Structure 1
Amino acid sequence: MALSRHLNGEGLTLAILLLAATIVCGLPLFLLFKLGFTSDGALSLGPLLEALNSRSVQRALWHSLESSFLSACAATLLGASVALLISLTDVRAKGLLVFLILLPMMIPPHVTAIAWIQALGPASPVLRWLGIAPEIGSTHPLYSREGLVLLLTLQHSPLVFLLVRAALRSFPRELSDAARVSGAGALRMLVRVTLPLLAPSLLAGFALAFVAALGNFGINALIGIPARYTTLPVLVWRRLASFGPDVLPNVAVISVILAAVALAAISLQSYFQHRMRTTLIGPPQTTLAIPLGRNRTYIELGLWAFVGAVLLLPAASLVATALVKTYGVPLAINTITFENFAEILWRQSVTLRAFVNSTFIAAAASIGIAVISILLGYFLSHRTKSHRRAAGLALGQAEVAFAVPGLVMSIAFILAFIAPLPFLNISLYGTIWIILIAYMSCFLAIGLKPVGAVFLQLDRSLEDAARVAGAGFERRLRIVFAPLVAPAAASGAVLVFLTAYNEVTVSALLWSTGNETIGTTIFNYEDGGYTTLAAAMSTVVVVATVFIMIAMNALRRRVPTGTIPWVN
């Protein structure tokens, strides 16, 4: 009877959540590490040491560390500088600037790579129209280590911008006011007050940019392969495509190396961030608006020039390439055609399937994660310590699954679900369902964060009142808590949808014929030489992404401040 009472209502729901998180987040990674450290059926470091002694693995590991470190340094410098400029000065149109600066973060990395390849190459329609394109037949300027680092920097600097901006908005205003009253100028206040307090956020931004670059597949593949600059994600993809008899153990070991580097980076970041933490007293207030005086116009022109160069040049090249029949044909009145859009939207069955599949998977994942986030968020703020610990264990597994590079998670899911499911005798591998489960595993942390933040702000006396009125667990959750956290859950679901709709890293190794996604289809078009079709499909994806981001603004008055990143 005691066990039955314990498993009723809250206890049973929490047990199901923890079991589900373990199956879709913890178990695949456990199987991956087990295979990576197994030789002849016994635990051994032999496979790992053998892989580390391989020249190709050593070279790919060095390239991954080098490109990730350099791009993370550049992204931290760029993102933090822009965040400080927008957050602490009186530049105008801040809301629009923030929206445009964060836009590249929502664009798939492989689309970013395709856009820049077409923008700066010898066949660039924009540069040829301006008469400054490189000579036909010359090496593409992006096909190098520096080109790879540049695109990774542009892709991930919005992450740093977002973190630094959020940190600045959480600072008590008294700190800055006291420094200014003491006679400190803007530069001195920045060096002596702001930057030391920002150190943990800067470190977190660097770590996020490093891990994101480490697991990035789209840019590493589309830039790195022509440049002969192979990184670990590309090496895994190539090894898995070879279909050898020991291909899974081989790529599992490489994936373990990639996962270990990512987890080590996150662990070091957490350690140093804790050591550098400074306790702040006082509520967050409106940040400073340091007057720029006569320099404001020039600084604003510089900001808008930067945003225009990052967004307009690749976007214009992408659209221009999509509007010509063959890549390299100059864009003119007599060469404009909409055949590429007609081809991908109406004629190509693979693209139609990809749009349907990605829409279904992304929508199902976002809805499922929204529901799970409401349930798990309730237990994360529960007054019972055992409930919080169990929910925290589920959250920890979800955060590890999110932190580990997507290509590693896809290998882990192949290992976990390549065999038929017990009792059901059904294999998920090669179906659309394995991609859906992988998305829910990898992106659960995205949807959970805004919901968890709202639950922590709620007064628990609401639940006490519902209990006194006789409401059970299901009724309390449905009538009291769900309506209060629904806007945050919807906002998180939209972010999950945007991330899943455009991604290619997780699905790169899980897709199969009939189960293509938008990301894999665009990548395959570009990799196969169908550049104009890749450009047309990328243009549609970018337009859809911008439309969804604009639509999210409708939620801004109904969700807590900061839930939608680009809304002040």
Structure 2
Amino acid sequence: MRPRIPRGEGLTLAALLVWAAGLFLLPLALLAWVGLTAQGAPSLSPIVEVLGSASVRRAFWHSLESAGMSGLGALAVGTALALLIGLTDVRGKGAFVFLLLLPMMIPPQVTAIAWIQALGPGSPVLGWVGLAPAPGSDHPLYSGGGVMALLTLQHMPLVLLLILAALRALPRELTEAARIAGAGPGRVLRRVLLPLLAPSLVAAFALAFVSALGNFGIQAILGIPARYTTLPVLIWRRLSGFGPSVLGDVAAISFLLAIIAIAAISAQLMLQRRLRSQVTGPPAQSLRIRLGRLRPVAEAGLMLYVGATLLLPLASLVATALVPTYGVPLTRETLTWGNFAEILFRQEATIRAFANSTLTAGAAALALAMLAGLTAYFLSRRDVARRRAAGAIAVLGDVSYAIPGLVISIAFILAFIRPLPLVGVSLYNTLGIIFLAYLTAFFAIALKPVTAAYAQLDPALDDAARVAGAGFGRRLWRVFTPMVAPAAASGAILVFLTAYNEVTVSALLWSTGNETIGTQIFNYEDGGYTTLAAALSSVTVLATVVLMAVLDRVGRRLPPGVVPWRV
């Protein structure tokens, strides 16, 4: 018998596995090897050595403290908002969710800059109402508490999204039975809903914790002036100050950071298994509390929260971009568009950054849409072996998304600092390494919507196409692609929004000529060019809002849950 040569599905799945091994396993394996070996032999001495440094121990504690406290804050605020929006009859839910999710899509370095300008002595908005701090006074955000507060606001939308999705998945029968038994809304919430939401609450905290752990923009812009150094900032300072010669030391610190993230996810999964409750019945809106006379008060509270956490910092950001020098009050005489003209037409580095970010984020979004479509196809198959292989790729994507972006950067430097075999070309200090890092860091974002879309398709479609004689490529192109294309486009837009403004992944990978928007904003603020940083940040916020509006419009034709803020 001749050996069977894999074709179509087999070759495609093999190519996906090779891609996953090259971009997920190889860089992280090299990071683990460098971080856990001494003189070529496995050893814990590199970890022990870095933990012997007082600066590393201090940064380690600051990372745990800021991630833990901000995770709890995000859990409390996000859960309260999710319960208010998901369980009551407040009006304008879609608009409120859209506005509440905006901070998540705004780059963290922009969030930090906006809040610095909103609450500082030179705040244009507070200056208008006479509430600005006295000139020369300490900025309230330059502290550990300031870092935690902004991390809470940045990652609260993650909790909001997860709890809203969990509320939509609960069956109606449970709350109806409790109401028939005479339980009021408060008792139903305490005795029925919150216990059922316990696994989701644990997952929400873990997600906020891991996101805060690797959030470089806020930790750097607020933490460096406050001397509140965390592990990501320590990694950046050592590598940017000493270059590739400290890769071994930095790899050990990065491995330590990755271990914290993986431990948090593992603890989450263990707690979820213990807290999970089996429920039956179709998902539906579980409870609808009529607020009556309190509804205007609740809606006013939501508008006040949006105004305080979104409009105040953004208004301060734009006002700072419209004055010639930071600290000058915005009046008709001082208003200028010169900062926008400078960044859009005269600064070569900024113009390159726009082009580079558009190219790398756009290419990554398109590539991940195709890779996610292929992976989700195999995840939905009835063939156990192929489904497990695709499941392994999905797990690697989830792990890579959970690991802080700065750790991904160090792993890619280790993997690609030398020229590639056979071709002899090095990707280090090129846009290529940033593009590949984006594929690794954001694959999970692209995969989720496409997987959800495939789950709604009848497997008989594939069987019918096979009976009709269609091969793998024809089935994929003519049957499945048209059906999952909207979800794939949704995932691609989410990837583009995330990658276009990010700074965590590219902070250590960019070089002169290969700047990105995120690194350019950070460099402007770090160099003291506050008005230019504000102008560039304002442009990126506008681009983010426009792209989210496009996704919202496309989402009207997509299945529920594909576009996160559509409720």
Q: Which residue of 2 aligns with 1:524?
A: 523
Query: What is residue 293 of structure 2 aligned with on the other side?
Result: 294
Structure-to-structure mapping, 1:262-341, within 5 angstroms: 262-341=261-340
Q: What is the distance in 1 between the residues matched to 2:84 and 2:382?
A: 42
1:444-469 Cα offsets, whole Å, 9 max, x none, are 11000111122122111111111111
Select between 51-60 and 551-560 the one with higher mean Cα deviation: 551-560
CA displacement at 1:307 relative to structure 2: 0.8
Counterpart residue number, 1:506: 505
Map 1:357-436 onto structure 2 (within 5 A).
Answer: 357-436=356-435
In 2: Cα distance, 1:89 partner to 1:114 partner: 35
Report deviation, 1:244.
5.8
Taking the aligned partners of 2:241 and 2:284, their CA distance within structure 1 comes to: 57
**How many angstroms does 1:199 deviate by?**
0.4
1:20, CA displacement in angstroms?
0.3
Verify the 8 A CA contact 1:64 1:214 in the aligned structure 2: yes
Match of 2:480 in 1: 481
2:143 corresponds to which residue?
A: 144
1:35 aligns with 2:34: yes
1:345 match: 344
- Give 3-state SS (helix, strand or coil) of 2:242's partner: coil
User: Is the aligned partner of 1:261 residue 2:260?
Assistant: yes
Do 1:418 and 1:427's aligned partners in 2 also have CA atoms closer than 8 Å?
Answer: yes
CA contact (8 A) 2:231 2:253 kept: yes
**Counterpart position of 2:45:** 46
- Give the partner amino acid of 1:64: S
Any stretches of 5+ residues in structure 1 without a counterpart?
none
How far does residue 3 in structure 1 lie from its aligned partner after superposition? Answer: 4.3
Q: Is the 2:167–2:285 Cα contact (8 Å) retained in structure 1?
A: no
Tell me, in whole angstroms, the C-alpha distance in 1 between the residues paired with 2:418 and 2:3: 34
Using the TM superposition, name which of 524-533 and 451-460 deviates more. Answer: 451-460
- What code does the residue aligned with 1:125 have? P
**How far apart are the structure 1 equivalents of 2:430 and 2:7?**
35
**Residue 261 of structure 2 contacts residue 403 of structure 2 at CA under 8 Å; is this kept in 1?**
yes
What residue identity is the alignment partner of 1:114? I
Q: Is the 2:71–2:209 contact (alpha carbons within 8 Å) kept by the matching residues of 1?
A: yes
**Structure 1 contact 110–218 (Cα < 8 Å) conserved:** yes
Can you list the C-alpha shifts for 1:350-384, whole angstroms capped at 9, x where unaligned?
11100011011111000000001111111111111
Change (3 A) 1:443 1:224: same
- Partner of 1:49, secondary structure, is helix
For residues 126 and 552 of structure 2, what CA distance do their matches in structure 1 show? Answer: 35
Distance 1:438 1:2 in 2: 41
Q: Provide TM-score, normalisation by structure 2.
A: 0.99
- Contact 2:490–2:563 (8 Å) recurs in 1: yes
Q: Structure 2 counterpart of 1:497, which letter?
A: F
Q: Deviations over 1:121-160 (max 9, x none)?
A: 0111111121111111111000111111100000001100
The one-letter amino acid of 1:552's match is L
Structure 1 residues 366 and 244: alpha-carbon distance in aligned structure 2, compared to 1, 3 A threshold: closer
- Give the secondary-structure state (helix, strand or coil) at the position aligned to 2:421: coil
Q: Which residue of structure 2 lines up, in the alignment, with residue 181 of structure 1?
A: 180
1:2 is displaced (CA, Å) by 4.8
CA distance in 1, matches of 2:108, 2:506: 14
Q: What is the one-letter code of the residue matched to 2:147?
A: L
> How many Å separate the matches in 2 of 1:29 and 1:283?
41
Structure 2: runs of 5+ lacking an equivalent: none
1:410 deviation in Å?
A: 0.2
| Deviation readout 1:463-493 (Å, 9 max, x if unpaired) | 1111111101111111111111111100000
Hey, what does 2:491 align to over in structure 1? 492
Residue 15 of structure 1 corresponds to 14
Q: Distance in 1 between matches of 2:388 and 2:515?
A: 39
Deviation at 1:246, TM superposition (A): 3.9
Aligned to 2:462, the other structure's residue is in SS state helix
Q: Which residue matches 2:354?
A: 355
Give the Cα–Cα distance (whole angstroms) in 2 for the partners of residues 49 and 464 of structure 1: 57
Shift of 1:10: 0.8
Residue 140 of structure 1 aligns to a residue whose secondary structure is: coil
Give the length in aligned residue pairs: 567
In 2, Cα distance between equivalents of 1:495 and 1:566 = 12
- CA-based RMSD of the aligned residues comes to 1.0
Q: By how many angstroms is 1:333 displaced?
A: 0.5
Residues in 1 aligned to 2:520 and 2:221: alpha-carbon distance in whole angstroms: 14
C-alpha separation between the residues in 1 aligned to 2:146 and 2:41? 43
2:213 matched to 1:242?
no
Asked if residue 134 in structure 1 is aligned to residue 153 in structure 2, the reply is no
SS of aligned partner of 2:81: helix
Question: Sequence identity, in percent?
Answer: 63
- What's the counterpart of residue 65 of structure 1? 64
Q: Secondary structure at the match of 1:515?
A: coil
Alpha-carbon distance between aligned partners in 2 of 1:3 and 1:46, rounded to the nearest angstrom: 48
Structure-1 separation of matches of 2:142 and 2:50: 27
**How many angstroms does 1:390 deviate by?**
1.2
Moved over 6 A (4+): none
Query: Structure 1: which amino acid aligns with 2:440?
Result: S
Q: Deviations over 1:525-567 (max 9, x none)?
A: 0000000000000000001100000111222233211000111
Amino acid at match of 2:49: E
- 1:227 paired residue number: 226
Question: What is the distance in 2 between the residues matched to 1:437 and 1:246?
Answer: 23
Q: Deviations over 1:169-209 (max 9, x none)?
A: 11111111111111111111110011101100110000000
Check if 1:214 corresponds to 2:213. Answer: yes
- Tell me, in whole angstroms, the C-alpha distance in 2 between the residues paired with 1:302 and 1:461: 49
Please tell me the residue identity of whatever aligns with 1:373.
A
Contact 1:114 1:222 in 2 (8 A): yes
Asked whether the equivalents of residues 22 and 397 of structure 1 are also in contact (C-alpha less than 8 Å), the reply is no
**Counterpart secondary structure, 1:427:** coil
Structure-1 separation of matches of 2:561 and 2:331: 45
1:235-270 per-residue CA deviation (whole Å, 9 max, x = no partner) reads 000110122674000100000000000000000001
Q: Give the whole-Å Cα distance in 2 for the aligned partners of 1:2 and 1:435.
A: 44
Aligned residue type for 2:98: F
Q: Which residue of 1 aligns with 2:546?
A: 547
Aligned residue for 1:243, secondary structure, equals helix
2-structure distance, mates of 1:357, 1:511? 10
- Verify the 8 A CA contact 1:145 1:229 in the aligned structure 2: yes
1: CA distance between counterparts of 2:383 and 2:404? 34
CA distance in 2: counterparts of 1:242 and 1:267, whole angstroms: 34
Q: In the alignment, is the contact (CA less than 8 A) between 2:223 and 2:229 conserved in 1?
A: yes
Give me the whole-angstrom Cα distance separating, in 1, the residues matched to 2:407 and 2:30: 12
Check the 8 A contact 1:38/1:47 in 2, yes or no: yes
2:463 aligns with: 464
- Counterpart CA distance in 2 for 1:216 and 1:374 is 29
